[in-house]
Amino acid sequence: MSEVKVPAAAVSGRSGSRLLSRLVQQRATLFWAAVVLLVVLAALLSPLLSPHDPLKGNIREGLLGPSADHWLGTDKLGRDVLSRLLYGARVALLAGLEAVGIAALIGIPLGLLVGYLGGWPDRIAMRIVEGVMSVPFLVLAIALISVLGPGLTKSMAVVGVVYAMTLLRLTRGQALAAREELYVDGVRVAGAGDRRILFRHILPNITPPLIVQVTLMIAGAIIAEATLSFLGLGVQAGQASWGSMLSDAQASIRESFFLALPPGLAILLTVLAFNQVGDGLRDLFAREAKGGSLGVNPVHHESGSGQPPPPGLVAADPLLRVRDLTVSFPQPGAGRVTVVQGVSLDVAKGEILGLVGESGSGKSVTAMSLLGLVPDPGRVAASAVELDGRELTGLSFEELRKVRGGAIGVVFQEPIASLNPAYTVGDQVAEVLREHEGLSRAQARARVVELFEQVHIPEPDKRIRDYPHQFSGGMAQRVMIAMALACRPRLLVADEPTTALDVTVQGQVLDLLLELRAETGMSILLITHDLGVVADVADRVAVMYAGQIVEGGPTEDVFRRPAHPYTEGLLASLPRNVRRAGRLPSIPGVVPPPSAWPVGCHFADRCPYARPQCLETPVELSARGDDRATRCVRAGELTLAGVGDVPAAGEPLPPAAGRPVVKADPPLISTRIEKRP
């Protein structure tokens, strides 16, 4: 499924502070991090905190219960359990750090190297890793320790080597993926050598998963230490370790069951804390990588201005009627940011309306919000969304889903990504039919073949058994169109349907849309950034800029004589297949993020005709003639240049092509022409 982008402003901010602010929201992770901190403090300050010597005790005071002097009582030899517990924390952490440190020192550099180099070093390293990891970890550790002799340092070194295999495999996989990234090509072309690429570029980029793994490994190593010490393979007799304490407790379990509780709980809590912190970090980094995805968000009803939109955006016999559509997203520290502001438009029966704009204009969000497909924190409201006379605002998502499946068909930009790779295309289209039309298996199959014929997929009865990856981009888009047509929709919403396709294929898909419109009489809401596509197929056009419709009207009129400076700039900067004269005209600057939209005209800071009055108050859409609308305070005084120099019948010639004509004062920037030497 295609993704609706959350506006950049909603997620901007420094990556560090962003991570931190998100961490604050993860209360549980913070709590467990505090537990980890507590254990670390206990280990560091154990000589200060311990009320007694952990190694010496009075055997006559053995197996005492908790008391004021011995908070957790004493063990069989009369040693203070609390003191041993605190010193045990030190042993547990040191053992964990030793094992994980060795694992990181061996596993990460080797993993980086073999992942990056590939080939035979990779194959040899991976066979060794697989060999080591196929033996149960504890069995291996015990075997090695029995050769090396017991002792905490030695046994944790063995644990470290075994862990290094896990880390090696993880790092290798990450490096393997990272070396295919384009930025690696970028720095390689910049002249960076292998070492620089590995340690300066790949390593920082794969650090997050490594941090998670290392945190989880510390927990594992603490358990390993306790296990080995319990078995007498870790710390030497007498030394305080949670494992050896458990072992002592087991020896005197008949006399005092309480002894097992403090070390047992200490292990449980510490390991749980490290695991929770690791999982929390994983969630944190994972959310970092994930953008907004399709959500479920019905359209709320809100009374609007009540003012009818100007001509150019309304139709006499509308199939779709949208009034005062607003979409907003919460923004950290800035309340809500409105990314679509009061959009009103009609799509007439049998009409193709082109909704055109650049990225960040809100065109896709507008269309997706009508279908209830806006990412979750977003809020959609409108005074009216009517489809064929039926009011859609206030419907629950379930009701909206029925409408969407039946009366509205949707086609997305990435046809192959929009299909499920695990099912044949025939099954996927049939599923829609069985779900919405209640057809039987055989009926659905026959109808799919019919649909494939309708969208001109050659040999339809054979191709329905193919999987998505067996289709080219153009053919996959035909499948998507067939799926959208399955329930004979009245309205087809096509979101950049040809953007991902080759230009020769694009023409064929557009021809198909025109043909289907003629056959079925459906209306099409075509969202695109390509003015050429709009010129090709759209009857009317609505131009969006920074969340607002800035101009609307019949395509040919708008493109010949635009009434908004943004439309003029877009048309002029579009590269066309004509002989060039000097520099390409362009619009200076960039589309501002939603949080930076001014009160007045959103386009003012990029507009060559801007005057102080443009920024003062919000600019409303106004009528121009009887079938046009524009959102420009100077609309009456500007004469803007459009495409073409052949006037339509009965119309005066537009101003000299190429030069915007301004009454009163000359243009400032943008479309000026310079001769190249």
Partner 1 sequence: MKTTDPGPLLRVRNLTVTFTERRSTPWRRPGAVTAVNDIDLDIEPGGTLGLVGESGSGKSTTARAVLRLVRPSGGSIEAAGFEVGSFGRRVPIAYRRAVQAVFQDPLGSLDPTKVIGDIVAEPLGIHFGLRGRERDKRVAELLDQVGLASHHGGRYPYELSGGQRQRVNIARALAVEPKLIILDEPVSALDVSVQSQVVNLLEDVQERTGVAYLFVAHDLAVVRHASDRIAVMYRSRIVEEGPADRICERPAHPYTEALLAAVPDPDPARQRLQRERRRELRAAAPAAGPRPATGCPFAARCPHRMPVCAETFPGWTPVPDGGRVACHLFGGEGTARPSDTHPDYQETSR
Name residues contacting partner 1, limited to 172-211 (CB under 8 A).
Answer: 181-183, 185-193, 196, 201, 204-205
Side-chain half-sphere exposure of 513, counting CA atoms within 13 A: 36
**Local structure of 493: helix, strand or coil:** strand
The CB density around residue 434, as the number of other CB atoms within 10 Å, is 17
Which of 48, 646, 653, 664 forms a contact with partner 1 (CB under 8 A)? 646
Least Å from the CB of residue 577 to partner 1: 5
Pick from 290, 469, 579, 675 the residue near partner 1 by CB under 8 A: 579
653 lies in the binding site for partner 1 (CB under 8 A):
no
**411 has which bridge partners?**
494
Is the CB of 143 or the CB of 656 nearer to partner 1? 656
Rank residues 98 and 568 by Cβ distance to partner 1 and give the closer one. 568
Give the binding range for partner 1 (CB under 8 A) out of 254-262, 310-318, 584-592, 614-622: 584-592
Of residues 395 and 537, the one with the C-beta less far from partner 1: 537
Which DSSP letter does residue 468 get? G
| Token pair belonging to 355 | 């909704």
Spatial contact of 297 and 369, defined as CB atoms under 8 Å apart: yes
**Region 410-469 residues binding partner 1, contact defined as CB under 8 A:** 458
Nearer to partner 1, 254 or 579 (CB): 579
Contact between 588 and partner 1 by CB under 8 A: the answer reads: yes
Q: Does 15 bind partner 1 (CB under 8 A)?
A: yes
Of the candidate residues 28, 581, 596, 599, the single one contacting partner 1 (CB under 8 A): 581
Q: By the 8 A CB rule, do 581 and 675 touch? A: yes
Q: Does 534 bind partner 1 (CB under 8 A)?
A: yes
Residue type, position 243, single letter: G
Nearer to partner 1, 387 or 513 (CB): 513
For partner 1, the binding residues in 549-578 under the rule CB under 8 A are 555-556, 559-560, 569-578
How far is C-alpha 274 from the geometric centre of its chain's CA atoms? 28
Stretch that binds partner 1, among 129-137, 141-149, 291-299, 586-594 (CB under 8 A): 586-594
Q: 318 pairs with which residues across the strands?
A: 348
Smallest gap from Cβ 14 to partner 1, in A, equals 8
- Cα distances from 645 to residues 52, 181, 375, in angstroms, run 97, 47, 44
Question: What amino acid is encoded at 30 in this protein?
Answer: L
Binder to partner 1 among 173, 209, 507, 598 (CB under 8 A)? 507
Rounded to whole angstroms, the Cα distance separating 505 from 511 reads 10
What six digits make up the tokens of 625?
Answer: 């003639």
The DSSP 8-state label assigned to residue 291 in this structure reads -
Nearer to partner 1, 395 or 591 (CB): 591
Q: Which residues share a beta bridge with 551? A: 543, 630
Among positions 303-362, residues that touch partner 1 (CB under 8 A) are 358-359
Nearest-angstrom CA–CA distance, 357 and 539: 16
Site mask for partner 1 (CB under 8 A), range 17-56, x = bound: ----------------------------------------
Q: Of 477-506, which residues contact partner 1 (CB under 8 A)?
A: 502-506
Neighbour-count burial of 228, counting CB atoms closer than 10 A to its CB (0-12 exposed, 13-18 middle, 19+ buried): buried
Q: Which is nearer to partner 1, 75 or 539 (CB)?
A: 539
| Contact assessment for residue 101 and residue 160, using Cβ atoms and an 8 Å cutoff | yes
Nearer to partner 1, 44 or 596 (CB): 596
